[in-house]
Structure 1
Amino acid sequence: MKIRFEVPNKLEIIFGKDKAECDGCGSDSEEGRSVGELLLPQYALATGGLARDHRPLITFPDNNNFHVLSAAEYRRLLLYLTSVPSLLEAEMGFHIIIDRRKDRWNSVKTALLRISEFFPGIIHAVYVLRPASFLQKALSEVSSKLFKEEFRFRVLVCSCVDELYEHFDRSQLTPDLGGELQYSHSEWIQQRIALEKFSTLMKEISSKLDEFMHEIVDCDMGNDPTQTKELLDCQESRYKALKTELSSATSQGEELLTQVRKPNLTYNIISHVAAVERLLVQLDETEKQFDNFWQKHSMKLNHWLKFRTFLLNFKQMQATLDSHLKTACDMTEVGETANRVDSLIQEANEFEKLCNCDLDSASTVIEEGEKLMSDPLSSVDHIESKCEELRRTSSLLMEKIQKRNLLLTKARELMDRIDKANDWCTTGVEILAGEGGLIAVDKLLEDAKSFGLAAPEQFRDMLLQSATQETRALVTQVCQRVEDVWLMVSVKRATLVRAAARPARPVQTVPPHCAAPPPSNQNW
């Protein structure tokens, strides 16, 4: 199951223009040297100087080496140099100074044609310091009038550097142009290399962040809590690793800022300081966006883990309660003897203890579900139905246990009555067989009340109400015996009562008679 989250805008850190690279703008298949190699001979410079209208300046110094540049190398170099100023400055357009005072007029024309063919930006004006030799000066006066209208940009041919001051402050021009701008090309290159390395590092981190964010957004969070927990731990580990890289990049940027920020900064160095500061601000914003994204994602993933854990606990608990419920339904025996009933009561008590532990666990699961329902991310209806099912099963199980206990309690009471009834019958038979008098009979009838025998019919009804199918035959037998003994005892008592009520006859005194003498034999 895949859960899609709302994806924030892709994290992007702008490092100058897209085409600016320190180690070469063109692809590997293009011919020529890399930008790093092209910067060293100073074919063209971005010194950081600005015209009076605050547009940036590109200078082609008079080093008599511009002709060795191939077309691809020229494009690569210009793409890089025009990316050095800020985007706002670059969008305003550029001023270009072509210094050819020690060169020939053909070199001026070559440079202008190159610029006309390709320049990655808006050209506001091109200032040409024409060749200073007498012959070249004469040629330039003629040629400049012929071709300066051929270009799409404005070309101003200057006879000397003083004419540049009409458009540039001396503070914005390097000493070779009579200016005051302190520019060290080697220092500038070193700072650019450090700046480009830092910007490349930030690009790599940005790419990693973007890849990580899109990967975890579309990940399968799993239906098993163990799988989800492993996924959460793995993603959290990667998040912490990326946070470490962000922290390390911030430290490197702050160290770089300390290196380039020196006393009496020139404008070209100030631009480097501003670039590093801008990158650090963007890095901080990137980290905040990343933290915000991770907070939302981890919150949802943790909620999903709790939800899947709840469902697993619910399934396990429901299966356990269903098993207990089946066991409770199968516990129908009530026993036919007191000893058996006692054994069943002990089993029922142990079963109740076991069920109570699981019922407590079920209550805990229900509480977890209720907590989940308070989370805005939860599907309340789904969780509520599971909680309600657990409540229903728990209630049904408790009801079964209570009924079982009540049934066994009544069965035990029944066995007690049966045992006492049997003992009573035995005593009654002994009294009937012996010479017991009315007192013994009355005591026997009085003892019958201790186990509920006041009348045989009522006693039978009482026992049959508590009897089950298992004990009904026994109850019927005992009731019949009780009725028989009761009847005989009642008859005996009635006899004894009548005998006790009959008046005694008076005793008459009978005098003794003397025996007559035998007749005499004389008469014979």
Structure 2
Amino acid sequence: CFLFLCLLPEVTVPLSLKEVGGYIEKQVAYLSGGRGEDSSVIITLPECSAFSDIPEEALAKVFTYLTLIPRQPGVKFIIILDRRLDTWASIKTALARIAASFPGNLHLVLVLRPTSFFHRTVTDIGFRFSQEDFMLKMPVVMLSSVTDLLRYIDENQLTSEFGGTLDYCHSDWIVLRTAIESFAVTVKDIAQMLQGFGTELAETELPDEVGCEAGLGDSTEVRHLQASFFSLYFTLLCIILVAKMCVWNLKYFDELFTVETVKQSLCFRLLAQLRDMESAFDGFFEKHHLKLHQYLQLLRYEQSFQEVRIPSILSHVYIFSCASQQVRCGLLFIFSMCLSKRFLFSIIILHGHQLSAGHHYAMALIMQRCNELRHYCDTLNAALKTKHTRLLQTHQLLLCLGQAQTWCDDGAYLLANQLVDKFQSKDGAQAALRDIEGFLDGAPSMLSSGPDVLAIEYEAVITSQLQHAAVQQMIQNRQASLRKLADKHVRPVQLVAPRPENPPRSKSPLFSPKHGTDISAHTSSRPHVMRELIETERIYVEELLAVLLGYRAEMDNPALSGLLPPILRSKRDILFGNMPEIYNFHSRVFLQDLEGCLEAPEGVGACFLERKESFQMYECYCQNKPRSEALWRQFSDCSFFQECQKKLEHKLGLDSYLLKPIQRLTKYQLLLKELLKYSTDCEGTSELQGALTAMLDLLKSVNDSMHQIAITGYEGEICELGRVLMQGSFSVWISHKRGPTRMKELARFKPMQRHLFLYERALLFCKKREEHGDGCDKTPSYSFKHCLKMTAVGITENVKGDVKKFEIWYSGREEVYVVQAPTLEVKMAWLNELRRILTNQQKMLRGLRDTPVNTGQRIKVQRSIYKLQRLEMLLRAPEGELVEYLKLVCGGLCFDFLYRLQTLQKVDSKTVFIVPGRKCVQLLYGRI
């Protein structure tokens, strides 16, 4: 769109005929179309008795208008001054006025002197004595007759009144000039319309959801833009046709208008500009239409991309402990799902390459999506291999666990079935020992490798491994006892249970209690924090004094005047802000108050609360900080600051010390929190909590005011809205009950992003602009959009569908704003503040209702604001519109109060009442 606006030619309309029409119609001067030597344009000043009465300004406009008609560069002019029936005094006056008022390159002035003997003689004598004066200003030739005029100008370039053959009609010339100038204005208007249309196209917000499957071409806003395009295009073609007819009339208006002259005329230039506009407009709309089509393709491609993202298909298969057949089925299920996803990936990647091959404007984004899909394919393949390996391990583990479980059961059964009576003989003990050794030789391979290897290879079998360890321990104990019996023939007394209990699992060191954790005791105490507060306050005051004396006061030092730019000396208040005021407050008042609380820390909270209003000066300092930083960046390399820093022996520059007030303001709330931490159940705790709240509110107020100064486009005085209470960014939907609705609001498929500012008397809706500038110069700005007076605002706290949404409605739901907060906490904070404002308004109205109306009280309606005709129209208006427009302050009562009164009152000749069945206020005034 920017390229299209650059291609549109700038159409300018010079001085118009309407501005000098009265004098042109009187034929004070005219352009006959004739040309003199070197193609000089001839301007004729015929006999005019009222020439001397024409004001100088009007005559200068006439000459300027006539000299602007020929547009050739370096054109010269010849003036024919016809004074054959006049006197020398008139000629002298006319020449003087021409010399003073003519703006062009005057080549020659041909004067036809009076024809009567007396006046001719006087003219000759007067011109002889004044010739040198005139020749210094302009070349003047005094002619005796019309015949002498032919020596300077060809008769074909002279009109009939000068003996020439050039046909000229002044009335036709005026008609033609009026038509040409009207055409120029029309061309200028159509250029502005095209620029506005291009701007509207550029500002049209396209939907970022494919949910509007009707397509971009079927949306209401796009249909409106298409209708505007065809209307503008038809208008442009009509104007081009009119321009061609105008050129044809100009070409054949007179045979003396040669083809070369017509080509240089204003009409031809305007026609060429129209053709350029037509070409630029056609090219722009074709590109814009192509971009819309590609945008729709991109939306559909993005939807396909989002739909084929890797789902959690790899977690759908669980480890089954019952049978390996279910594991095999899960593996086949994963293979089938992954195969379908990989096929979809291939299709979308192919589609992306096709879009890129068609030179799509979002080629980079599409290729990025294709690369992401390839990465997804690789990730899917790797995850599939990992899952396949894990499932095979699971299958093998299930088989091994089954074998181990069977072996353990057989071992326990073997031990339980060995008869103790047979152990009394050596042969019986040896036989039992051989049975156990044979059983151990037949153990599964996974059990023979040892518990450590098993735990590493199969972490999931930790419970079975513990059971295996318990069984092995039992077997080893039995082996030892049997060997003893075989050697000593000692009767054993130990019995084995069929299935031993699992030994208790030892706790992992990761879950054991932590030892050696040093719980540091509080190193600070209430007096310590108090001393820190006072000591840092003294340092802060000393630093402020050093800045004011070492920099600000040095600006008046004559010895350093050569190092200081003059413009910087005049802007010291911008650079330092109200730092002197802050220093005076802290050095003379606040530091002394804090020092008085050194032995009585319980009074610190009261000290802050007492000086609460004085801390508002920091808000002024913070609001000036952006201007101060901009000025510092402009002059930071100034040798004056370097010299001052050297004298003060500061390691940091001035900009670091200019941040001290802001840093100190933040430090206060931290120190107050520390004091409150060590002041539980102590005297002055409530005041300390109040001081902390006050400082936090001050920080919030400063932050809000910093955003407020970035509001642009608000025509009124923002200070009249009261103090800014809250501000923040929200998603907003707007709906109107009736009335004209902008196309952007009808076709909006997504919420508007608005930054809301809540004041005591109004609610502002602004649009946050992108930060502009480079580096640290970046600052946000807020463009003003809407203003809602709090006297006509209502809220609905809950909106169906989203707990973070609430409604702000205006003028009896004439306008409804659905606001979505970023979090539920932000929503509740805003609702509490809005509820507080509305509650205060209701209390005020209730107080007015309870106040009796004196018999001498009069309701004075300002007739200059609302005339009687306006009142008649408002009587027939709907409820919301009537209440909106009848908010006039009337002798201490307002129409909002009368609207809620619901009773009939008479005050003098004015009556206010409620009509049953129609909720609107009726005003009977006078004879209405």
Tell me whether 1:283 sits opposite 2:274 in the alignment.
yes
The answer as to whether partners of 1:78 and 1:119 remain within 8 angstroms in 2 is yes
1:65–1:378 distance in 2 versus 1, CA, 3 Å:
same
Separation of aligned partners in 2, 1:269 and 1:101: 35
Matches within 5 A, 1:88-99: 88=73, 91-99=74-82
Equivalent position of 2:245 in the other structure: 255
Tell me whether 1:22 sits opposite 2:7 in the alignment.
no
1:220–1:312 distance in 2 versus 1, CA, 3 Å:
farther
1:222: how far off? 6.8
Equivalent position of 1:388 in the other structure: 371
Task: Structure 2: state its 5+ residue gaps.
Answer: 399-441, 447-457, 465-928
Q: 1:182 aligns with which of 163, 167, 182?
A: 167
- Answer 1 or 2: higher relative contact order, Cα 8 Å, separation at least 6: 1
Equivalent position of 2:317 in the other structure: 331
| One-letter amino acid of the counterpart of residue 286, structure 1 | M
1:103–1:225 distance in 2 versus 1, CA, 3 Å:
farther
Matches within 5 A, 1:347-386: 359-374=342-357, 375=359, 380=364, 383-386=366-369
Sequence identity percentage: 26
Equivalent position of 2:142 in the other structure: 157
| One-letter amino acid of the counterpart of residue 145, structure 1 | R
Q: Secondary structure at the match of 1:101?
A: coil
Equivalent position of 2:9 in the other structure: 12
Q: Secondary structure at the match of 1:224?
A: coil
Equivalent position of 1:447 in the other structure: none
Q: Secondary structure at the match of 1:120?
A: coil
Higher-strand-fraction structure = 2
1:280: how far off? 1.5
1:253–1:37 distance in 2 versus 1, CA, 3 Å:
same
| One-letter amino acid of the counterpart of residue 138, structure 1 | T
The answer as to whether partners of 1:97 and 1:126 remain within 8 angstroms in 2 is yes
1:344–1:193 distance in 2 versus 1, CA, 3 Å:
same
Separation of aligned partners in 2, 1:392 and 1:269: 70
Task: Structure 1: state its 5+ residue gaps.
Answer: 25-34, 416-456, 462-466, 474-524
1:111: how far off? 1.7
Equivalent position of 1:522 in the other structure: none
1:341–1:234 distance in 2 versus 1, CA, 3 Å:
same
Matches within 5 A, 1:383-422: 383-397=366-380
Matches within 5 A, 1:260-339: 260-262=250-252, 265-267=255-257, 271=261, 275=265, 276-292=267-283, 310-311=301-302, 313-314=304-305, 316-317=306-307, 320-321=309-310, 324=311, 326-334=312-320, 336=322
Moved more, 138-147 or 166-175: 138-147
The answer as to whether partners of 2:28 and 2:51 remain within 8 angstroms in 1 is yes
Q: Secondary structure at the match of 1:249?
A: helix
1:187: how far off? 1.1
Matches within 5 A, 1:143-154: 143-151=126-134, 152-154=137-139
1:370: how far off? 2.8
The answer as to whether partners of 1:334 and 1:341 remain within 8 angstroms in 2 is yes
Moved more, 387-396 or 296-305: 296-305
1:21: how far off? 1.5
Tell me whether 1:76 sits opposite 2:74 in the alignment.
no
Separation of aligned partners in 2, 1:386 and 1:193: 61
The answer as to whether partners of 2:77 and 2:104 remain within 8 angstroms in 1 is yes
Q: 2:236 aligns with which of 246, 258, 273?
A: 246
Separation of aligned partners in 1, 2:178 and 2:340: 70
Separation of aligned partners in 2, 1:303 and 1:85: 49
Matches within 5 A, 1:29-178: 35-88=20-73, 91-151=74-134, 152-178=137-163
1:20: how far off? 2.6
| One-letter amino acid of the counterpart of residue 279, structure 2 | K
Separation of aligned partners in 1, 2:300 and 2:23: 62
Separation of aligned partners in 2, 1:398 and 1:117: 92
Separation of aligned partners in 2, 1:12 and 1:79: 24
1:247: how far off? 1.7
C-alpha offsets along residues 417-455 of structure 1, whole Å, 9 cap, x if unaligned?
A: xxxxxxxxxxxxxxxxxxxxxxxxxxxxxxxxxxxxxxx
Equivalent position of 2:718 in the other structure: none
Matches within 5 A, 1:437-452: none
The answer as to whether partners of 1:101 and 1:130 remain within 8 angstroms in 2 is yes
Separation of aligned partners in 1, 2:28 and 2:99: 17
1:144: how far off? 1.2
Separation of aligned partners in 2, 1:185 and 1:360: 83
C-alpha offsets along residues 293-329 of structure 1, whole Å, 9 cap, x if unaligned?
A: 5556666676666556655653x236x42xx2x2322
Q: Secondary structure at the match of 2:30?
A: coil
Tell me whether 1:196 sits opposite 2:185 in the alignment.
no
Equivalent position of 1:501 in the other structure: none
The answer as to whether partners of 1:48 and 1:268 remain within 8 angstroms in 2 is no
Equivalent position of 2:724 in the other structure: none
Q: Secondary structure at the match of 1:251?
A: helix
The answer as to whether partners of 2:71 and 2:264 remain within 8 angstroms in 1 is no
| One-letter amino acid of the counterpart of residue 142, structure 1 | I
Separation of aligned partners in 1, 2:264 and 2:350: 56
| One-letter amino acid of the counterpart of residue 390, structure 1 | L
1:215: how far off? 7.1
Equivalent position of 1:432 in the other structure: none
C-alpha offsets along residues 484-524 of structure 1, whole Å, 9 cap, x if unaligned?
A: xxxxxxxxxxxxxxxxxxxxxxxxxxxxxxxxxxxxxxxxx
1:81–1:354 distance in 2 versus 1, CA, 3 Å:
farther
Separation of aligned partners in 2, 1:42 and 1:155: 22
1:189–1:360 distance in 2 versus 1, CA, 3 Å:
farther
Separation of aligned partners in 1, 2:171 and 2:294: 57
1:191: how far off? 1.0
Separation of aligned partners in 1, 2:223 and 2:347: 26
1:198–1:270 distance in 2 versus 1, CA, 3 Å:
farther
1:396–1:187 distance in 2 versus 1, CA, 3 Å:
same
Higher-helix-fraction structure = 1
Q: Secondary structure at the match of 2:89?
A: helix
Separation of aligned partners in 2, 1:344 and 1:468: 21
Equivalent position of 2:208 in the other structure: 224
Taking structure 1 as the reference length, the TM-score comes to 0.63
Count of residues paired in the alignment: 410
Separation of aligned partners in 1, 2:100 and 2:348: 76
The answer as to whether partners of 1:257 and 1:277 remain within 8 angstroms in 2 is yes
1:42: how far off? 0.6
1:305–1:157 distance in 2 versus 1, CA, 3 Å:
farther
| One-letter amino acid of the counterpart of residue 257, structure 1 | V
1:390: how far off? 1.5
The answer as to whether partners of 2:4 and 2:280 remain within 8 angstroms in 1 is no
Separation of aligned partners in 1, 2:278 and 2:356: 32
Separation of aligned partners in 2, 1:395 and 1:11: 51
The answer as to whether partners of 1:317 and 1:358 remain within 8 angstroms in 2 is no
